Amino acid sequence: MQDDYIHLRIKKIYLIVFALLLVSFAFGYIVGRGFNVFTYLSWWEKELIKNGDFDDNLNYWDVVHNSNVNDVYDVIVKTIKLNDSDDKIVEFYRNNSYADGGTVALKQQLGVDVSHFSELYLRTRVRIINYTELNTGWWCEGSSNPFCVGESPVFVKIFYKDKDGKRHLWHVGFIESDIYNKTGYVYIPVNEWYDFESENLMNIDPKPAFIDYILVGGTGWDFKGDISYVHLYGK
């Protein structure tokens, strides 16, 4: 009985010493980072997109479709071999467009305050399969509408607000080439996977404060494209 009591006391002392050590390490860490609670909270990268690998199929994603004609479209999840392991990818396509522009995409509502972030990166792996509108389109050429950014068989768009609540769009489009030389496009070959990482999006102007939603897919006439993953990491 007496022995049990002593053992319990020893266990308790060990626990207290362990807790004190943890607290002192945490305190040392905070002091080392200058007492800034936001810096302290942001030591790790935070993934803002749910199911960005599509391992959980289309869960958390909504299909978006815009067309003025009676086109044929779909968004499907496929499993492919990538580097000797299975990878679930999203394939989207649009046919019967009759050279009339439209969109097939996936949308995820994010609603994340990023105002205290110092870094934010979009990372994605994409592949163009085919497309019929060979450039980014003439109709946004010289447009003063910041949401009119042109068309490409694969794109990622991030809709965000600045600190004053004004809406903006960050965009990257993937296409082979473009006679219009619009900004925000990366030229890649057809039928090859391409890994893309954005610049630090906390350095763009206007600076993001709140991310509304992300849109990934294709836009143009007929097109077909693949997305292996799309991640938005912040810290």
DSSP string, 145-213: -TT-----SEEEEEEEE-TT--EEEEEEEEES--TT--SSEEE--TTS-EEEE---GGGSSSPPSEEEE
The reply to whether 91 sits near Ca ion by the rule CB under 5 A is: no
DSSP string, 5-70: HHHHHHHHHHHHHHHHHHHHHHHHHHHHTTT-HHHHHTSS-EE-STTTT-TTTTTT-EEEEEESS-
Applying the rule CB under 5 A, the residues between 194 and 223 that interact with Ca ion are: none
- 3-state DSSP assignment of residue 227: strand
Query: Which is closer to Ca ion, CB of 85 or CB of 144?
Result: 85
Among 58, 65, 87, 194, binds Ca ion (CB under 5 A): 87
- Smallest distance, Ca ion to C-beta of residue 52, A: 8
The reply to whether 61 sits near Ca ion by the rule CB under 5 A is: no
The reply to whether 136 sits near Ca ion by the rule CB under 5 A is: no
- Smallest distance, Ca ion to C-beta of residue 76, A: 13
The reply to whether 228 sits near Ca ion by the rule CB under 5 A is: yes
Query: Which is closer to Ca ion, CB of 86 or CB of 205?
Result: 86
- Smallest distance, Ca ion to C-beta of residue 53, A: 4
Cα separation values, 148 from 62, 64, 107, Å: 22, 17, 18
Among 218, 229, 230, 232, binds Ca ion (CB under 5 A): 229
Asked if 104 and 129 touch (Cβ cutoff 8 Å), the reply is: no
Applying the rule CB under 5 A, the residues between 37 and 56 that interact with Ca ion are: 53-54
Q: Could you tell me which stretch among 1-9, 15-23, 87-95, 197-205 binds Ca ion (CB under 5 A)?
A: 87-95
Interface positions with Ca ion (CB under 5 A): 53-54, 87-88, 228-229
